[in-house]
Structure 1
Amino acid sequence: MFVLTVDQHDSRRTTDRVPELLTALEGLGMRLPPERTAGDEVQMLADSSDVALSAVLRILELGGWSIGLGIGPVEHPLPGSVREGRGDAFVSARLSVETARRTSSVPVSVRTTDPRQREQTEELEALLRLIGREILSRKPGQWRVVRAMREDPSATQGDIAERLGITQQTVSRAYTTSGWREEQMVHPLARRLLAMLDLTSDRPSPVS
Structure 2
Amino acid sequence: MIVITADQVGSRVSADLVSGVLDWANGPEGPGLLLPADRTAGDELQLLPADARAALRIVLHLTRSGRWSVGCGIGSADPLGATVRETAGAAFVFARDAVERAKKRPRRFALENGTEHGRAVDALVDLLLVVRARRSREGWELHDLLETGLSQAEAAERLGITPQAASKRARAADLRADTAASAALVTLIADLDAPHEGGGRR
TM-score normalized by structure 1? 0.87
Cα distance change, pair 203–19 in 1 and its aligned pair in 2 (3 A): closer
| SS, match of residue 97 in structure 2 | helix
Deviations 1:55-92, CA, capped at 9 Å, x for gaps = 1121122331111001011111x112112221110111
1:125 equivalent in alignment to 2:122: yes
Taking only the aligned residue pairs, the percentage that are identical comes to 33
Q: Which amino acid aligns with 1:110?
A: L
Residue 180 of structure 2 is aligned to residue 180 of structure 1: no
Are the aligned partners of 1:60 and 1:135 in contact in 2 as well (CA < 8 Å)? Answer: no
Equivalent residue of 1:35, what SS?
strand
Counterpart residue number, 1:90: 92
Q: How does 1:128-147 map to 2 (within 5 A)?
A: 128-147=125-144
Equivalence for 1:110: 111
Alignment RMSD: 1.9
In structure 1, the partner of 2:73 is 70
Q: Is the 8 A contact 1:73 1:203 kept in 2?
A: no
- Residue 101 (structure 1) shift: 0.6
- 1:94–1:50 Cα change, 3 Å: same
Equivalent residue, structure 2, for 1:53: 56
Whole-Å separation in 2 of the counterparts to 1:123 and 1:38 = 30
> Separation in 2 of the partners of 1:24 and 1:171?
29
Residue ranges of structure 1 left out of the alignment (5+ in a row): none
Letter in structure 1 aligned against 2:67: G
Is contact 1:63-1:136 (8 Å) kept?
Answer: no
Deviation of 1:33 after TM superposition, in Å, equals 2.2
1:152 alignment counterpart: 149
Q: Unaligned 5+ residue runs, structure 2?
A: none
- Supply the distance in 2 between the matched residues of 1:82 and 1:190 (Cα, whole angstroms): 25
Deviations 1:171-203 (A, max 9, x none): 222111111110111122211221111123597
Paired residue total: 198
Q: For residue 32 of structure 1, what is the amino acid of its counterpart?
A: L
Give the one of 189, 192, 197 matched to 1:194.
189
Tell me if the contact between 2:78 and 2:87 (Cα under 8 Å) persists in the aligned partners: yes
2:103 is matched with which residue?
A: 101
Per the alignment, do residues 156 and 140 of structure 1 end up closer, same or farther by CA in structure 2, a change over 3 Å counting?
A: closer
Q: Which residue of 1 aligns with 2:32?
A: 29
What code does the residue aligned with 2:47 have? M
Q: Distance in 1 between matches of 2:20 and 2:163?
A: 32
